[in-house]
Structure 1
Amino acid sequence: MKQRQPERQAAPPAHRPSARGASAGQPSTRGPSGRRPSIRRPSTRWLTLYARSRQVPASLAAALIATVATWSLTRGAGSDDPRTRILLLTSVVAAAAVGLSGQDRALDRTAAIRWAPRRAAHVLLIGMLAGALLLAFLTAGDEPVRAGTLLRNSAGSAGLAAIGAALWGGQYAWTLPFGWCAAALFVPSTDSVTSQVTTWLIQPSGTTAADWTALVLAVGGGLFYALAGPRR
């Protein structure tokens, strides 16, 4: 008699990936818990690296120290003296201008990013920082705030720092703001156009020669630095 062969069990159906799952041949990006791992955005990472390479934390700390020191020295004596204001403004711009060139110049040259808009934004932020700290200084001293003069001097000083960085590098970018500040303090102010251009930092808002000088320095310096970059 022939022995009966054991019946074969049907093979289980092949597992088919669901429409919501990953396609065949592609590994799943979900972790053991079923959640996708958090990925740090490249823009945030780039901004952090840029701030570190440009010494932004140290520059910000130096600017704050200069503001607090000036406020402490002039407290009770009044800060309406234009010389005090432009000295504080120049100190803040000089402290922040160090970061207009990076520590690794070769890395800056090889980085495949658009430098021009980032450089222009950096100069703009320096002007905004200087204006904000000067505004806080004047507000703390209960002194009148002249918005036109504050904006003009902040923008023009930032443009001077940008020109200095493009000509001599970030480590010497402070020379032009401090040099023009010294000229404004020691050159006698008269009604001549030459004198108003030289002493534009202490001229009141609405002085045509002073306003145009600051505008040319702000726009021209920002464009020059954005296109040329810091000297290597």
Structure 2
Amino acid sequence: MTAVALFLRSREVPAGVLCAIPAMAAVAWFGAGPAGSPHAVTAAALALALGIAVLGHGLGGPDSTLDATAAIRWAPRRALHLAAIFVVAAVVVTAVTTVPVAVVLRDAAGFTGFAALAAALFGRRLAWTLPVVTGCVSAGIPAVPEPFALHLLTWAGQSADSRTALTTAAVFAVTGAAGYVTHGPGRSSPR
């Protein structure tokens, strides 16, 4: 148990959870409306983007060089950490919102993949960037089926029956998770 506690503390996970859970719950609750309404879907997407952005900060330790040189197998820990972020975000937003569970799971997977991809590319300090940008785009642009490029950009705000949104979220989830699990967080100099 000591190794798990040290891992979580080194990645500032307890503080992230204490901030992310109330923030996700508040945004999803304030945006809740009739079941499956576009406003509720947008609010759920924003809640997930916000929570996963906060939790994504823990996808690396304070010293990326130390993480890279440690003589332990990081891949299982990284995969478990991503799965935990996905589960926490999905459970919190599902408990508060009126949006179908399929939409919450799709968006949680996509945003978690985005956070993992950002952590792998830019380091843990910028793991928030891709989820926040995508969440803001989905909130700011109405979810429309045409043109196709706009449909792809607003995948998080699409309805539950959108195959394009599901495919887009799955691609981001798999790509981000694969990049992060195999390569870890991007190298950045510690402060």
- The aligned residue for residue 3 of structure 2 is 46
Equivalent position to 1:149, from 94, 98, 103: 103
- Count of residues in Structure 1 that have an aligned counterpart in Structure 2: 182
Are the equivalent residues in 2 in contact too, given 1:152–1:215 (CA < 8 A)?
Answer: yes
- The aligned residue for residue 136 of structure 1 is 95
Question: Higher relative CO (CA 8 A, sep ≥ 6), structure 1 or 2?
Answer: 2
Matched residues in 1 for 2:89 and 2:181: separation? 19
Uncovered stretches (5+) of structure 2, i.e. residues with no partner: none
1:78 deviation in Å? 3.4
Matched residues in 1 for 2:144 and 2:33: separation? 25
Question: What per-residue deviation string (whole Å, max 9, x for no partner) do you get for residues 163-205 of structure 1?
Answer: 1101111111111001111221223433233222111101112
Question: What per-residue deviation string (whole Å, max 9, x for no partner) do you get for residues 51-87 of structure 1?
Answer: 0111010010011231354367x28x73752222111
Q: Secondary structure at the match of 1:219?
A: helix
1:157-172 to 2 correspondences below 5 Å:
157-172=111-126
Matched residues in 1 for 2:159 and 2:120: separation? 29
Q: Higher mean Cα deviation, 45-54 or 154-163?
A: 45-54
- The aligned residue for residue 216 of structure 1 is 171
Are the equivalent residues in 1 in contact too, given 2:28–2:93 (CA < 8 A)?
Answer: no
Question: What per-residue deviation string (whole Å, max 9, x for no partner) do you get for residues 120-148 of structure 1?
Answer: 2211111111101101212xxxx3x4121
Percent of aligned pairs sharing the same letter:
37
Equivalent position to 1:109, from 58, 65, 68: 68
Q: Secondary structure at the match of 2:27?
A: helix
1:109 deviation in Å? 2.1
- The aligned residue for residue 97 of structure 1 is 56
Are the equivalent residues in 2 in contact too, given 1:188–1:195 (CA < 8 A)?
Answer: no
Matched residues in 2 for 1:101 and 1:136: separation? 28
- The aligned residue for residue 182 of structure 2 is 227
Are the equivalent residues in 2 in contact too, given 1:66–1:88 (CA < 8 A)?
Answer: yes
1:169-180 to 2 correspondences below 5 Å:
169-180=123-134
Q: Secondary structure at the match of 1:210?
A: helix
Equivalent position to 1:67, from 1, 20, 24: 24
Question: Per the alignment, do residues 63 and 222 of structure 1 end up closer, same or farther by CA in structure 2, a change over 3 Å counting?
Answer: same
Higher radius of gyration, 1 or 2: 1
Q: Does 1:85 align with 2:44?
A: yes
- The aligned residue for residue 143 of structure 2 is 189
Matched residues in 2 for 1:127 and 1:68: separation? 15
Are the equivalent residues in 2 in contact too, given 1:149–1:205 (CA < 8 A)?
Answer: yes
What is the alpha-carbon root mean square deviation over aligned residues?
Answer: 1.9
Uncovered stretches (5+) of structure 1, i.e. residues with no partner: 1-43
Matched residues in 1 for 2:124 and 2:14: separation? 15
Question: So what's the TM-score if we normalise by structure 1?
Answer: 0.73
- The aligned residue for residue 203 of structure 1 is 158
